[in-house]
Amino acid sequence: MNIENGDMYEVAAAARDCLGYVHIADSNRWSPGFGHFDFESFFKVLYNIGYTGWVRAECLPLPDEEQAAKRWIEYVNDMKEKYE
């Protein structure tokens, strides 16, 4: 969606009533923090539109499965603490 639909933040806000499940990965398909996508702004949009559904990592298991999962869990927990 980041490439195909322009401004992801505007698209997410416009689709607020249709969102039920969000898949995310960084710009290079790695876990958050390994690319250049602004996840914090995206999570802020989700918070501001009242999104309470699932957010799923759809990233490559790089640099390895354990590090990718650990990074994803840490990042999501940080965002939950910040926006809940």
Two structure tokens written together for 42: 């995206």
Which of the pair, 4 or 55, is modelled with greater confidence?
Answer: 55
How far is the CA of 7 from the CAs of 2, 3, 10, 41, 70, in angstroms? 7, 8, 5, 12, 28
pTM for this model (two decimals): 0.75
Two structure tokens written together for 13: 């806000």
CA-CA distance, 64 to 71, in Å (whole number)? 11
Question: Is the confidence at residue 5, as pLDDT, over 80?
Answer: no
Residues 56-68 have a mean pLDDT of: 89
Which pLDDT tens digit goes with each residue over 8-37?
778 888 888 888 888 888 888 888 878 888
CA-CA distance, 23 to 83, in Å (whole number)? 18
